[in-house]
Structure formats: C-alpha cells, structure tokens
Amino acid sequence: DSGVTQTPKHLITATGQRVTLRCSPRSGDLSVYWYQQSLDQGLQFLIQYYNGEERAKGNILERFSAQQFPDLHSELNLSSLELGDSALYFCASSGSSGHSYNEQFFGPGTRLTVL
Amino acid sequence: EDQVTQSPEALRLQEGESSSLNCSYTVSGLRGLFWYRQDPGKGPEFLFTLYSAGEEKEKERLKATLTKKESFLHITAPKPEDSATYLCAVRGSGAGSYQLTFGKGTKLSVIP
C-alpha cells in the first residue's frame, strides 16, 4: 500500500459525458501528479500540482482539467468524453524536497470505460 | 525530449533462471532513473532510484545498475511471484523536469 488513495476504482460512462476522478496523496506529500495509461501508449504524464498550484503540464487534452485543494487532495475532470479516453488513470504523489521530491508513489488507479 | 526504450517487451523464465531487463534512455541532465513493478490492473510499485553511472541498488532478488546510457534490472533465481511488468522511467533537467518519462515496460513471466 503506497498510501495514495484514488476513487472511484471503476467508472463506466457514455460518450459526451463528464466525470471527476479523486486522489488523496500520501500524508505530508505536497506534489500530486496525474498519469494516463492505455494499452498502446503506456504511462503518459498529464499534469502536476504542487501545494495547490499547477507546476507542469504534459500531454493533457483541453477537455481535461485538474485542481488541488487546500487539504492537498486533487481532482481530475474529464469532459466531452470520447471512446479513446478509456484508460487507467493514476495519481502519484511525492515529497517536498531532495530525494523525497524525486520519488513518486502511485495510487491504485481509476479504470475509466467510455461506451 | 526525454526517451526511454525497454527490452525485451516480454520475457518468459523458468523458476530459478536468472536474467536481465534492459532500459536505454536519452535525457538532458539525468535527475534520476526509476524502476517500478506493476501487477495487472494495479498501480506501479516503486522499486529503486539510481542517480549516477556506476550506482547499484539491491532488493531481495532484484539488482538495478546504471550506466550513462542504460540501466539493467537483474533478476536472480526468480520465483513465480516475481511475474509482473517492470517499468523504467527517467527524470531529466530539461523543460519537462517535473515529470517522469516511462518506457513501455517488460512483461516478465516466471514459470514454476
């Protein structure tokens, strides 16, 4: 158990809909990262938040957005969903400095299925 | 742009048959090379971080090594419970320095 929690575990929805994925980082970690994992693309970085502020953006679509709240939990919002958005979505967290900042610990993921 | 290539894509070993997985990388200013283990439908589990060429880390039957262009994950006398996908990732010091760039992984199957 990494200490990172994600809800829900599974999500099934229809094209065009909007969903919200939730992540709680390990106790004391200030950084939260979101990744998408599909069979053909592997793990792809989406976005990072550090202590409530956006720090880095990767291959995140404009239909997707995220935020980190004062209690450090984070939400990833996916809208106008398409079939190709079906994937595993992982959240990871890391500490605030030095080697602890470098090492990311992953949650169990949310499996999104768009029908 | 940071790049990571892992080989082989899949590897089948008999229990007790030692082998190595390869991770080749290109990165501007390595700030860390990471190995993770991932079981089907689960989140990646952190194994090791390596920072400089010549560094080695060990955990049970696993040993990770690093050169300037590659990392190897050596598996000694594997057991069926070592079956998983092993992922390699790098963090560089360029524009995307806060993110990890992952390879596509090596799927290891250990047959009893």
pLDDT at res. A74: 98
Among A29, A55, A99, A103, the strongest candidate for a mutation testing the B interface, having the largest count of B CBs within 10 A, is A103
| The pair of three-digit structure tokens given for residue B22, joined into one six-digit string | 């390869």
Q: Taking all residues of chain B, what is their mean pLDDT, rounded to a whole number?
A: 94
pLDDT at res. A6: 98
User: Average pLDDT, stretch B19-41?
Assistant: 94
Among B88, B99, B101, B102, the strongest candidate for a mutation testing the A interface, having the largest count of A CBs within 10 A, is B99
| Half-sphere exposure for B54 (CA within 13 Å, toward CB) | 0
What residues of B are in the A interface, CB distance below 8 Å? 31-32, 34, 36, 41-46, 49, 87, 89, 91, 96-105
> DSSP readout, B30-56?
--EEEEEEE-TTS--EEEEEE-STT-E
Query: Using CA atoms, how far apart are residues A36 and A44, in angstroms rounded to an integer?
Result: 5
Question: Can you give the pLDDT of all 115 residues of chain A as single tens digits?
Answer: 889 999 999 999 999 999 999 999 999 899 999 999 998 778 999 999 999 999 999 989 999 999 999 999 999 999 999 999 999 999 999 986 666 567 899 999 999 999 9
Contacts of A39 (CB under 8 A, 6+ apart): none
pLDDT at res. A41: 79
User: Average pLDDT, stretch B69-94?
Assistant: 95
Looking at beta carbons, which residues of chain B come within 8 Å of A45? 96, 99-101
- What is the three-class DSSP state of A102? helix
- Give residue-wise pLDDT tens across range B53-79: 999 999 999 999 999 999 999 999 999
Determine what percent of chain B is predicted with pLDDT higher than 90: 85
Q: Decide if B91 contacts B25 (C-beta within 8 A).
A: no
Burial class for A2, CB neighbours closer than 10 Å (0-12, 13-18, 19+) = middle
| The pair of three-digit structure tokens given for residue B4, joined into one six-digit string | 């990571």
